């Protein structure tokens, strides 16, 4: 079954509640909506928060965090978190 789409009005509300900032690092670039309980069918407002693409990757795949951080440092020469 295909994961449901987050309605644009709900996405905009979540972004506004977080002042268009990442809920982890506070950045404002490449924001994505994260399902806190990792259930893409649970679009309850209390289960959603914005994450920048980098933080979203770390939150979604904590087991790969060390590898992702090493790749980021190697590619860009600086830590981004």
What are the tens digits of pLDDT across the range 5-43?
899 999 999 999 999 999 998 999 999 999 999 999 999
pLDDT value, residue 80: 53
CB 31 within 8 A of CB 15: yes
CB 79 within 8 A of CB 66: no
3-state secondary structure of 16: helix
CA distance 66 to 81: 12
Distances, alpha carbon 56 to alpha carbons 1, 18, 50, in Å: 23, 15, 8
pLDDT value, residue 74: 80
First to last CA, the chain: 34
């Amino acid at each position: 079954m295909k994961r449901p789409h987050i309605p644009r009005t709900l996405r905009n509300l979540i972004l506004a509640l977080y002042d268009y900032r990442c809920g982890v690092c506070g950045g404002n670039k490449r924001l994505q909506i994260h399902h806190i309980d990792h259930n893409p069918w649970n679009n309850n407002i209390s289960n959603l928060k914005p994450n920048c693409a980098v933080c979203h990757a770390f939150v979604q795949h904590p087991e790969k965090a060390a590898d992702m951080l090493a790749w980021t440092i190697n590619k860009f020469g600086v830590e981004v978190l």
